[in-house]
Structure 1
């Protein structure tokens, strides 16, 4: 009787093991087939209508690197997608008005993650302008007012820079590269290497990767579900409707000013981050537009 029990037990173990191995093998094959069929790597790519030569091995690998890195930066990529819902409606019409290709909004994404970031070198805002460059392109930058934190004004300044770069360098892709490497720096590389296509140039490591990072975020943000990002519309960050108040004199206390508008100091600063102190000094009578949320929060 004991011998029969042993035989039955052994048979059961073998049977279960066989089923498990078969199921596991089937699942792996099934997943492999699914991945193969999906082919997440894009068959063609362009930046601002200019072809990305994915048929070149080094170009394909460089793009693949940035795509893999950013697909797997889950928190950062999710936040970028959510913030884009708020920032892109401001950026897009300004790009269009200036004749700048829509793809440049992804440059802002890789520069700052669409927040008013501060770099160790002193660049600030969503478009990451250095102080002197910001002033060259029409922004006011001082301890009291810093328009690098004004998304509309800094986007307009970025357009001014990019139009100039395109005229000097000849392509939108090189104009984008120059946003990182500088027009002078990129021009020097072109002169030394005797080529005029971004994808043929050997650049500094950061500039060498720069356009590919833009392309990667463009690909992911245009096809979020394809890369595993499913975000409900109500989870996106939205901009609140605001009304604009024009001021042409100093404001001695921004907290009192905010209260007079039916909001508090925190809300005032959230909607007007270009106001850098607790007061607005305006001895010259300049005209500023201060945004106040319609609902008061």
Structure 2
């Protein structure tokens, strides 16, 4: 009698693991502004660490409807995936131990990669882009700079598309394998211009040709019947989807990175 045929375990994608796996809370991330829980998720013999942010733990904001931040985090992931740049870790909306919430793959940052710095003088130096001057104590100021890095430039474009109101230094996660991820996208997709970021170094500069091609693809995907527009409408309001489409149009029309509007603080506080 022959031995029974072994059925190999099915391959599980990160999104499936997050959405369908058993979620076990291991601890709380204390410095998060909303409830953020460090978890393990397991499915069919595969495991990963992740962050789970239940809607019930969201703090009310005056300029965003209550209970919508988790959906905005997932919407940011969907736009990132549509660009092909993969700048946001896999993120899903799912039920968990404390109700519905956002679940995102945990990314371990490489502390040796320097993306932000404070420098003396008025020029950023080779390989860096100036953001602005910052007080550093005792009446001194220093020039805040970020790396002139193509990965950061793509992230700056993504932030302009999703209208990110809170791109801080601590939300930038470079990894040891050379990837860069952005996290914490709860305050995005507002219909009003709220772009606040540390990545102003390319403000007013022409968009790279590759970026223009990506934006054209987003425009099509957000248009009537487009897959991205349909998906976003499940996560944010139709008015917010339309505003996203309008921001993509505006970037294509100008052909340039946006500049601070002067009507809203351009840099988040605290910046890191």
TM-score by length of 1: 0.21
Structure with the higher fraction of residues in helix conformation: 1
Structure of higher RCO (CA pairs closer than 8 Å, 6+ residues apart):
1
TM-score (norm 2): 0.22
From the two aligned structures, give the one with the greater strand fraction: 2
**Structure of higher CA gyration radius:** 1
